[in-house]
Amino acid sequence: MKEIRVHGRGGQGSVTAAELLAIAAFSDGKFSQAFPSFGVERRGAPVQAFTRIGDKPIRLRSQIYEPDYVIVQDPTLIDIVDVAHGMDENGIVIINSDFNPEDFNLDTDAKIMTVDATKIALDVIGRPIVNTILLGAFAGATDEINPESIKEAVKERFPGKIGDKNAEAVQKAYDMIREGNK
Amino acid sequence: MVELRNITKDMMTVVEGSYAVAHATKVCKPNVISAYPITPQTHIVEELSQFIADGEIENCDYINVESEFSALSTLVGSSATGARTYSSTTSQGLALMHEVLFNASGMRLPIVVTVVNRALSAPINIWNDQQDSVSERDSGWIQLYAEDVQEAADMVAQAYKVGEDPDVMLPVMVCMDGFLLSHVYEPVVLLEEDLIDDYLLPFDPKYKLDPKDPKTFGAFAPPASYTEFRYAQEQAMSAALDKIEKAADDFYDVFGRYYGGLIDEYKTDDADIIIMAKGSIIGTIRDVIDNLRENGVKVGLLKVRALRPFPKDAIKEVVKDSSVVITLDKNISPGVNEGALCTETKACMYNSDINVPVIGYMIGLGGRDIPEDTIENIVDEAKEVINSGISTESQFTDLREDLI
């Protein structure tokens, strides 16, 4: 079983990201589960959402304390939340940032990767909403999920032009992460 | 029979728990829905309102009201005319229904309410525990508790089957943990519309309000007859014991899914330690048991599906050969320092020849997370009970000493 924790701020679509990841993983042939950290919803407050992906039906319902992967939607969270908490050296932290991974001094042995999802969002979608884009980066960074499944899930959730644009941005983030890690 | 799910992945889809429950409700063909939105129940009634607005439920009215008190009162009147009725609520909303709960059960109206379990104020807390429904256990409603989304959705159909049985005629609460089940996305089989008529008969009560054949429901019962109404209610609860088992068996025959009847068991056959619980904590317990079994710990699960009627005989049969029983309760009766399963499990063994120690834990109150470690630590404490007897009969779990 793989466990993913999404860190974001209220209004950035962290819960939606976790849900779309679960939907995409299921269409890849895996079992999955996604749930929010049940905070009091306030725009801008730090929030978490969780996804589990496994080969068997998932029964565990605790929050995720030792994630395999972490997605950080907003790099300003890093000053106030220990985003890599509980990770080991096999883990990957994906941060939305135009900085390089080595610019982040996280207290972890996990690998840090960055993608400028905000720039992709502004270029492709025209709005700084990065949740779906980071799923493309996740697929590129981890090989846990087929990017086509993410694009399908995104298009189903956001029908029409907005979904098409998001899918395009997902692909772009996937390609960028792949390119940066050759 | 233990849990059996004849499911292939092509039958499943990943949806939010609330959607799966709303869909199942739609498939059960209610005639009147009335509810008042409250976190974390809101998504269920939003989905149902959408179904109604889209004309997806025939012969059904969604009646908007200003409170939960009115929502349930609306259903009392509707159900008495022979309508199949549904509502959903939680926490303060269920508390506000309190007076009407007794009217519904006293008038023997098989209303179904999904209780999306949440803590009660004060202090205000929107997160999950089961204090809301457990506090209504004397209201005369059947109470069923679901382990996961699939069971919470399918249980709506089972609730109508049991409640509307002519030998029962009682309202039913289907209890599902707030957020943990209502807001989780996971793969489920949406209740099959094409099979429901093989399972659920149309609701056709023997007595109903009809202007052409006037009757009165819930009228006056003086001391000379009130006791007999209460006795009849208890008889109906008693009849429901078998009906709940049968509703689960019949559900398996039609839909191929079985979650236990009054209870379910997991690895109890040779178990020294039996963990008793209800609701979404069951999934985590199953994982803990598998881990501990790998290390040779003989531990099993007794999943309680029905809190009312309380399955005394089924519980005694499972625990009688064990060495210790752990009860995990997301509720407390202050002044007893015990949760409901602890008190009632002990009570049902007294006056019998079963003498197994029971230790109780109040856990997951107000949404406090329940990691696997917490349950493993409790099992360690149970091992001590086997070796040296009970030191603490019932206690709070994971208390934060820094806040006390």
The per-residue b/e assignment along B21-43, b for 16 or more CB within 10 angstroms, e otherwise, is bbbbbbbbbbbbbbbbebbbbbb
First to last CA, chain B: 45
CA dist list (Å): A123 to A14, A73, B125: 21, 17, 42
What is the structure's pLDDT at A44? 83
| pLDDT mean by block of 10 residues, chain B; 404 residues | 82 97 98 97 98 97 97 98 98 98 98 98 96 98 98 98 98 98 98 98 96 93 96 98 98 97 98 98 98 98 98 98 98 98 98 97 97 98 97 97 94
Q: Mark yes or no for CB contact A61/B281 under 8 Å.
A: yes
Asked if the Cβ–Cβ distance from A65 to B281 is below 8 Å, we say: no
Distance from CA of A41 to the nearest CA of B (A): 11
What confidence score (pLDDT) does residue A182 get?
A: 46
From B153's Cα to the closest Cα of chain A, the distance in A is: 17
Most A CBs within 10 A among B186, B259, B288, hence the mutation to make, goes to B186
The shortest C-alpha distance from A100 to chain B (Å) reads 34
Specify whether the CB–CB gap between B303 and B260 falls below 8 A.
yes
Side-chain-facing half-sphere of B290: CA atoms under 13 Å: 7
Q: Which residues of B touch A63 (CB under 8 A)?
A: 369, 371
Dist. CA A12–CA A130, nearest whole Å: 7
**pLDDT for B250:** 98
Considering CB atoms only, which of B126, B186, B370 is closest to A33?
B186
d(CA A76, CA A118): 13
Query: CA of B272: how far to CAs of B1, B252, B339, in Å?
Result: 21, 30, 22
Q: Do A61 and B180 touch (CB under 8 A)?
A: yes
Low pLDDT (below 70) residues in chain A: 38-41, 181-182
Q: What pLDDT does B1 receive?
A: 63
CA–CA separation, B293 and B256 (whole Å): 28
Which distant-in-sequence residues (6+ apart) come within 8 Å of A79 by Cβ?
Answer: none
Separation between Cα atoms, residue B259 and residue B245, nearest integer Å: 10
Are A19 and B16 inside 8 Å of each other by CB?
yes
**How many other β-carbons are positioned within 10 Å of the β-carbon of residue B137?**
16
CB contact (8 A) between residue B184 and residue A34: yes
Distance from CA of A47 to the nearest CA of B (A): 15
A138 and A7 in contact (C-beta within 8 Å)? no
Q: Are A142 and A128 in contact (CB under 8 A)?
A: no
The answer to whether the CB of B110 falls within 8 A of the CB of B160 is yes
Tokens of B122: 């004060």
Q: Are A33 and B370 in contact (CB < 8 Å)?
A: no
The burial class, CB within 10 Å (0-12 / 13-18 / 19+), for B123 is exposed
- Residue A40: the pLDDT is 65
CA end-to-end span of chain A: 27
Test B371 with A65 for CB contact under 8 angstroms.
yes
Helices (H), ranges, B164-260: 196-199, 226-255
What are the residue ranges spanned by the domains of chain B?
4-258, 263-403
CATH code for the part of the protein at B4-258? 3.40.50.970
- Residue contact A19–B185, C-beta within 8 A: yes
Is there a contact between A133 and A173 (Cβ–Cβ < 8 Å)? yes
CA distance B344 to A155: 51
Identify the residue among A23, A47, A61 best suited for mutation to test binding to B, counting B beta carbons within 10 A and taking the highest.
Answer: A61
Q: Residue A62: list chain B partners with CB under 8 A.
A: 284, 369-372
CA B117 to chain A, closest CA, distance in angstroms equals 14
Which of A26, A35, A62 shows the shortest C-beta gap to B184?
Answer: A35
pLDDT confidence of residue B395: 98
| Residues of A whose CB is below 8 A from B14 | 22-23, 26, 32
Which chain B residue lies closest to A153 (C-alpha atoms)?
B14
In chain A, at which residue ranges do the beta strands (DSSP E only) sit?
2-9, 31-36, 46-54, 69-72, 92-96, 111-115
Of A31, A34, A61, the CB nearest to B284: A61
- Which residue numbers of A have CB closer than 8 Å to B's CBs? 18-19, 22-23, 26, 29, 31-36, 38, 40, 57-63, 65
Nearest to A59 among B16, B284, B370 (CB): B284
DSSP-derived secondary structure letter, A101:
G
CA distance to A45, A59, A81, A145, B64, per residue, from A76 (Å): 12, 34, 9, 27, 44
For the domain B263-403, what is the CATH code?
A: 3.40.50.920
